[in-house]
Amino acid sequence: MFESIRIVARAGAGNRILVLGQFQGQGLDPASARLDASGAAAAAAKRAEATGDVGSVVEAFPNGKGAAERVLIVGLGARDKFEAGVLRNVAAAMGRRLAGVKAEGAVIELGPALKLAKVDGWSAGAAFGEGVGLLGWVCDEFRGTAAKAESRRKLQLSSSDRSFAEGMERGLTLAEATNLARTLSQSPPNVATPAWMAEQAAKLARRTGLKIKVFKGADLEKAKFEGLINVGKASENKPCMIRLEYVPSGSGAPKTGKYAKPAVLIGKTMTYDTGGLSLKINNGMVGMKRDKDGGCSVLGAMQAIATVIKPRRRVVALLAVAENSISDEAYRPDDVLRFRNGVTVEVTNTDAEGRLVLADALCWACDEEDPAYMIDMATLTGGVVTALGSTYCGLFCEDDTLRGKIERACGASGERVWRLPMHQEYREMMKSPVADIVNSNPNRKAHPIQGAAFLSYFVKEGVPWCHLDIAGVHATEKNAGPYIEGPVGWGVRMLANLLEAE
Ligand code: BES
Ligand code: MN
Ligand code: ZN
C-alpha cells in the first residue's frame, strides 16, 4: 500500500494532512476542534456521515484558512468501549484513505480524544503504529508482466504528542516483524523449500546478531530427529531443523535466578503438506504452502526479540522444517518410528505429520536446552478450524503461570486464544496396539486435542509447555481491519509482548 512508512519528528512542508478523532454520536471535542482554526473540521464532524464508527473517515477542507490542507476525522467508536486496541482498525481505515488520496504524510493528533478516554499515549501510539504497519504489508514479488504496477508513496507520520509518536515507532517495528512472517508464508512451495527457509533464517541471524545452527543430513541422524527424517524423506527438498538463539548482550544471560533458563519457541514449518501417502483429497491441498506459518511466526518473533524487545533471558527458536510429499521413499501408514526419548509411534496417517516433527523439537528442547518454558505454534489440525473458526487460536497449556503470560500478551496484541482441555482420557486415546502411541486415532473424535495429547508424550514432566494450534487463525480470507486476504503473521506480536512483559 505504501512504499515505506516512517515516523518523523516534524511533518515535512508538503505534508498538510491533519488527522483528528471523533467518538460515536459526539461532535468534535473542543480541544480537537481548536486544532483547525478554520472551523471546517468541527463543521464536518456534524455531517450525517460523521458517525464516529470505527472505520469511518470524514474529510474536511479548510480551503487555505487553516494550517492543514485536508483534515481526516477518524471514527473512534463508542467512548465507553474505547481501548488502545481499537486504534489498530482506526489506523487501518486512515491508512486506506491516505493511500487512496496518494498522501505522503499526515499529522496524527488524537491526544484530546485519548485524554477524554483516559488511554495513555504510548500504548495508543503502539496500536496505531501496528495498524498502519500491518496495513502497509506488500508482497508483489510473485507478480509478473501481466499485473499493473501499483503506484506507492513514501508515507511520513508525525504527532505533537511525543509518547504517541514513540509508541507509533514501536508499533511499526512489531508490524515489520509480523510482515516478515507474512512474506515468508506467502512464498510459494517451489521457492520456499526447507533449504530456502534455512537461508532466510541465516539472513535474519546475520542482520540481527542471532546465533544460528541448521541441522541437516547426517546431523539429523545424530540428533535422532526421527520425525523430521521420516516426514521429509519423500521429497527431494530435504528437511532440516533450524536453531536460532538470542543471547542478551552486555553481561549476557544471568547464570542464576528467574531469567537463567531460556524461553524455547518451536514452529511447525511444513513448506508443503500434500498429506503424504495418506494424500489430501478434494482440493484439500490448496493453501498448504501455509503449513509453515508456525515457523514463519517464530522467525518474525525472533526478529522483534533481537532488535527491539531484547529480553533479559535467552530465547531459543527451533523450526522443524520439511516437505510432506509422496514418492516410493515416503514414510507410510503402518511404519513404526522410535523417537529420541524412546517413545515409539505407529503411523496411522501420514497427514498427521506436524506432530511428528514437533515431537523432535520438544524432545530436543527438554534434553538439550533446559527450558524455562516451551511454546509451540503449529497449523496442526483442520479440527481446530471446525471448533473455533478463525476467531480464536486453540490453546493447550496446563501450566497456569505460562497460560496467564500468554493470555496477557494476547490481550496486548489483540490476538485471541481459547483454552481447550488436555486430560488423561485424551492421552489414552493415543495408545497403539502395536507401538506406544499412534499419530492419529482413526476415529473422528477431538482431533485438535488428539494433536496436543500426542505432543504431550514428548514433553518432560515439570517443563511448562503451551501448544498453540493456529490452523484457524494464521490467514484471513477478508480484506478487513489492518489485513488483506492472506497470512496475518499470527503470534509474532503476542510472543514479542510476552517476552517484553517478563
Ligand atoms: N496441516 C494440516 C492441518 C491444516 C488443515 C492446516 C487445514 C490448515 C488448514 C495437518 O497436517 C493435517 O493434515 N491435519 C489433519 C490431521 C488428521 C489426519 C489427524 C487434519 O486436520 O485433517
Ligand atoms: Mn497434514
Ligand atoms: Zn500439516
Residue 182 covered by a domain: no
Active site residue 153: no
Residue 11's SS3 state is coil
Contact 71, 122 (CB under 8 A): no
Mean pLDDT of 273-295: 97
Residue 356's SS3 state is helix
473: amino acid identity, one letter: V
Clarify whether residues 194 and 171 are in a common domain.
no
Q: Looking at ligand 1, which residue's alpha carbon is closest to its atom 7?
A: 382
For 383, half-sphere exposure in the C-beta direction (CA atoms, 13 angstrom radius) is 15
Residue 180 covered by a domain: no
Ion ligand 2 neighbours, Cβ < 5 Å:
273, 351, 353
At 14 the pLDDT is: 67
Catalytic residue among 233, 280, 403, 419: 280
Number of domains in the chain: 2
Residue 420's SS3 state is coil
Ligand 1 pocket test, candidate residues 292, 381, 426, most atoms within 8 A of CB:
381
Residue 212's SS3 state is strand
Clarify whether residues 221 and 247 are in a common domain.
yes
Mean pLDDT of 37-46: 96
- Which ligand 1 atom sits nearest the alpha carbon of residue 379? 6
379 CB within 6 A, ligand 1: yes
Sorting pLDDT into bands at 50, 70 and 90, what band is 376? very high
Q: Which residues pair with 394 in a beta bridge?
A: 418, 469
Integer Cα distance of 334 and 355 in angstroms: 16
Its domain, for residue 251, covers: 188-501
Look up the CATH number of the domain holding residue 476. 3.40.630.10
Residue 181 covered by a domain: no
Integer Cα distance of 241 and 362 in angstroms: 12
Mean pLDDT of 49-60: 97
Clarify whether residues 156 and 215 are in a common domain.
no
- Which ligand 1 atom sits nearest the alpha carbon of residue 383? 21
Contact 412, 432 (CB under 8 A): no
Q: 144: CA distance to ligand 1 center in Å?
A: 32
Joined together, the cell numbers standing for residue 114 give 485519548
324 CB within 6 A, ligand 1: no
Joined together, the cell numbers standing for residue 338 give 522410535
Closest CA to 11 of 155, 123, 152: 155
Grid cell 541448521 — which residue? 214
Clarify whether residues 328 and 379 are in a common domain.
yes
Sorting pLDDT into bands at 50, 70 and 90, what band is 252? confident
Mean pLDDT of 446-456: 98
Catalytic residue among 340, 355, 405, 493: 355
Clarify whether residues 275 and 340 are in a common domain.
yes
Q: Looking at ligand 1, which residue's alpha carbon is closest to its atom 22?
A: 382
Active site residue 216: no
Integer Cα distance of 468 and 84 in angstroms: 25
Joined together, the cell numbers standing for residue 285 give 491441498
Clarify whether residues 405 and 350 are in a common domain.
yes
Q: Indicate the average pLDDT of the chain.
A: 96
Q: 340: CA distance to ligand 3 center in Å?
A: 22
Clarify whether residues 58 and 162 are in a common domain.
yes
Clarify whether residues 142 and 247 are in a common domain.
no
Integer Cα distance of 131 and 144 in angstroms: 29
Clarify whether residues 276 and 328 are in a common domain.
yes
Q: 354: CA distance to ligand 2 center in Å?
A: 6
Burial 29-58 (b: 16+ CB within 10 A, else e): beebbebbebebbbebbeeeebebbbbbbb
Burial of residue 145 (CB within 10 Å: 0-12, 13-18, 19+) is exposed
Q: What is the DSSP secondary-structure string of 77-114?
A: --GGG--TTHHHHHHHHHHHHHHHTT-SEEEE--HHHH
Ion ligand 3 neighbours, Cβ < 5 Å:
270, 273, 291, 354
273 CB within 6 A, ligand 1: yes
Look up the CATH number of the domain holding residue 89. 3.40.220.10
By DSSP bridging, strand 211-216 and strand 344-346 are unpaired
- Which ligand 1 atom sits nearest the alpha carbon of residue 273? 1
491 CB within 6 A, ligand 1: no
Q: What is the pLDDT of residues 355-373, one digit of tens each?
A: 999 999 999 999 999 999 9
Residue 245 covered by a domain: yes
Residue 254 predicted with pLDDT over 90: no
Residue 183 covered by a domain: no
Residue 104 covered by a domain: yes
Clarify whether residues 92 and 51 are in a common domain.
yes
Clarify whether residues 339 and 453 are in a common domain.
yes
Percent of the chain with pLDDT over 90: 95
At 63 the pLDDT is: 86
208 CB within 6 A, ligand 1: no
Q: Looking at ligand 1, which residue's alpha carbon is closest to its atom 14?
A: 381
Which ligand sits closest to the CA of 271? 3
Clarify whether residues 156 and 238 are in a common domain.
no
